[in-house]
Structures are given as structure tokens and as C-alpha cells.
Amino acid sequence: MIDLYTWTTPNGEKPVTMLEECGLDYRLHLVDISSGAQKAPDFLAINPNGKIPAIVDNDGGQSIRVFESGAILIYLAEKTGQFLPTSGQARAETLAWTFFQVGGVGPMLGQWNHFAKFAKEKIPYAIDRYRDESLRILRVLDERLKSNDYLAGDTYTIADIINFGWVRIAVSGKGLKDDGANELESLLAWVERVGSRPAVQHSLHKLETAKNERG
């Protein structure tokens, strides 16, 4: 059985969706990052970086910990043989668009979110810089999706799973919709396509329900 440690954020959603898509059994442990639970010693033993998400895989006679959402998705893809092509251009595209999220989409949108919404001091330079870079990144995704249904090409992969959470928010009213994201038609169609998958809907519902039940 896999233990998943996560929270209701775009990064936290990724492994829930992957586990649901793969049909794996798992125990969901909510780590309330608003209370600082991610910095507690027992969690730091699983992720020394003190951030969700993380998993511990207890199958197979030994416990394997994995942190960083990209590493978790690749680990689960290799464990199950799903959502990561094994060779050729399809594998290269899947890994490239996966790391594009980890190194670009996540950090840039995360910084924009911080400076535009949470920073007590509003710094126009920082807000503009991260908004413009986020929009540029969204346009790169849109361009890719003009001729491909999914980021790696014809098939749904971990690249779609990992990009979905942040992009879904980015194109919404909570994100950059009115800053130009609403014009990215191929990206919007992809958000619909991925968001209509039963496992994606189920994972978001499951995470939110678990949080609400916790009170």
C-alpha cells in the first residue's frame, strides 16, 4: 500500500490524480501546510525539503520514499507501466513537458500568485515580471496544443497530469484569464479535455472532501 502525504493545492493534486488514473490503492494523509505540519520532524523524514506532496511505497517488502511531484509521477509511471512511454520521441516529449512544468509553469505561476495576491507589499516590478513570464509559458503550451491533443502528442501522459492543476487555475478568473489567458483556445480546450476525465474529477473531489471532513 502507498501512503500519500499531500494537501489541496495544485502540486498536491498531481499524485492524487496519478494514483487514481493508475488504479493504485493508497492511504491519503492530509498535511495542513497552513499550520506548518510540513515542517514537522516526522514529515521532514519523508521530504527533507518540507513541502507536499510526498509518498512512501510500502509494497514489495521495503519502504521507498519519493518527494518532488515530478519524481513521484515518474516513479508511479514506472511502477505501473502507465502514462510514460518507454522509448523514442514520445518518451522524450513526455519528460520534456513534465520538466517544463516543474521548472517553469509551477515556479512562475507560484511566484505570480504570491506577489499579486499574498505579498503584503505590492511590488509592481515583481507582479509584472511573473505575470508576463507566466503568460509567455501559457502561450508556449497553447502553441504546442494547437497541433496535439495532449502535451506529449496523441496520448495522455504524466505531462498532462502534472501540468493540469496550475494551468486550470491560470486560465480561470482566479488566475490570468483577464490578462489574456482567455484567448488561448487550444489550451482552454485541453483544460476541458483533461478536466473531464473521470479520474481527474474524482481525485479533485476526493481531496476536497477529505479536507472538508477534517473540519
Ligand X SMILES: N[C@@H](CCC(=O)N[C@@H](CS)C(=O)NCC(=O)O)C(=O)O
User: For binding to ligand X (CB under 6 A), which residues are involved?
Assistant: 9, 11-12, 33, 38, 50-53, 68-69, 102, 106
Closest CB to ligand X among residues 68, 149: 68
Closest distance between ligand X and the C-beta of residue 15, in Å? 9
C-alpha distances out from residue 113 to 85, 101, 117, Å: 33, 16, 6
CB of 49 to ligand X, least distance (A): 7
CB-nearer residue toward ligand X: 34 or 196: 34
CA–CA dist 81, 67 (Å, integer): 20
Question: For ligand X, which is the closer residue by CB, 11 or 163?
Answer: 11
Q: Residue 25 Cβ, how far from ligand X at the closest point, in Å?
A: 22
Q: How near is the Cβ of 38 to ligand X at its closest, in Å?
A: 5
Q: Which of 34, 27, 24, 21 is nearest to 5 (CA)?
A: 27
